[in-house]
A and B are shown apart, each in its own frame.
Chain A
Amino acid sequence: MRQAIRALGWATTALWIFVLIFMGTVFYSLANLGVEVGQSEAFPSNEGLTMSLPLLINNTGYYDISELNLTTYVTDRNGTLVSASTTYVPSISSGISIERAHNISISLNEFVPKNLTYLFFNDSVLNVDTFIILKFAQTIYFQMSTNTTMLWGAPLYNFSINEISCNLTDRTLTVPIEFENHSPFDINGTIRLDVYDDENEQIGYGEVTVSATSHSGYEDQIELFVNLSKRTKRGQVHLFIETAMFSLGPIVKEWVAPND
């Protein structure tokens, strides 16, 4: 019995020492963990907008960091998911420093299927939820979440097709278009216009190139030749915008011919 008690005593003491040393070194390692988040940069990409967030993790502690997962969810004011981006680092060994860029991509082509078309035309505030999950010393799971907001500048802010004028003698339609590009990227593409009469028959077509630099306004009057019959007094113009980043349309506007 005495030997069993003595053995238990030694085991308890040894385990207490182990646990205390482990706890102390974990606290020390966590306190010495260097995490730096650099200045975020936004730049245009093929799909839309990419924000790059440089991360520097300097593991000066005694234990490895594993399964580091940085996830960012960008949602609009209604909670619709605009973008989800993940950066995964399988392991950061003790004494190693790593540098990664966490890229948050916002694809403008996904706005239409996600019913986020208003973001083309209106500035807004987007919610950015960031989650960092990591495993420390193979035993301790750590999760950090933060919520911030970012301003969204609409690429076609205040887009408007003003009063369409119809010249019966020249058989032309003049479509005045204006918008402001509040986004951080330039818009280069085409505006296509399909003109329909009141019987939904295409009577005209036109295409112009559009170029609006970031934070600038765009204004143009597009003149189209139309095949006007005497019966045709009104109809619709279907407008399509095609750029490398997004395709949008049709934006429908009524036109009415003046009385003879």
Chain B
Amino acid sequence: MIEERDRKAFLKKILPRVVKATLSGIIIYVAFYFLSSLIPEVLFLGYEQLIFVFTMILIVFTVLHQLSAGTILQFAFSFARALFLIIYFVYALNGGIITATMGTMRFTVDIRVFLAMLVFVNVLGLAKSMFGAINFLSGKEE
């Protein structure tokens, strides 16, 4: 009887998280699917794999973050996601200087300002995760 009550409580606790995590994952996937269909294909040339990896890892982190809501792991996953995004953006955007060759044409795009914006946003995310974790732990202590 007690066991069944515990199971029910556990399901009651975990089910909304699973639903939330699934929905978040689906929303991210659908958003990327629509965004990629809006942006001209030529801009993705050579970046398809990187964009796919980005989408998948973002979904994984979001699902993990949702599943671990209310635990210290939530902040750890948020921190890891922000850190991953910083490294990913620096790597994928080649440090802000992108070069491409199409036939006899060679393109160079300097998007370092844009990269700086992305890194800054994720640094704020890192700070938020750290503060969140400290707050969570201090709340538990009290």
Contacts and interface: CB of A to CB of B under 8 A. Distances in A.
A147 B120 CA distance: 38
Interface in B112-140: 113-114, 117-118, 120-121, 124-125, 127-128, 131-132, 134-135, 138
> Binding site of B, secondary structure by majority: helix, strand, loop or mixed?
helix
**Dominant secondary structure at the A interface:** helix
Interface residues of B, number: 26
Nearest to A4: B131
Given A23-B114, A27-B39, A8 B127 contact: yes
B107 A142 contact: yes
Given A5-B128, A140-B111, A19 B134 contact: no
Nearest to A142: B109
Contacts, number: 71
B128 A12 contact: yes
B70 interface: no
A147 B128 CA distance: 50
Contact of B106 (A4, A22, A146): A146
A5 B131 contact: yes
B114 A139 contact: yes
Interface in A1-55: 1-2, 4-5, 8-9, 11-12, 15-16, 19, 22-23, 26-27, 30-31
Interface of A: 1-2, 4-5, 8-9, 11-12, 15-16, 19, 22-23, 26-27, 30-31, 139-148
Interface of B: 39-40, 43, 104-111, 113-114, 117-118, 120-121, 124-125, 127-128, 131-132, 134-135, 138
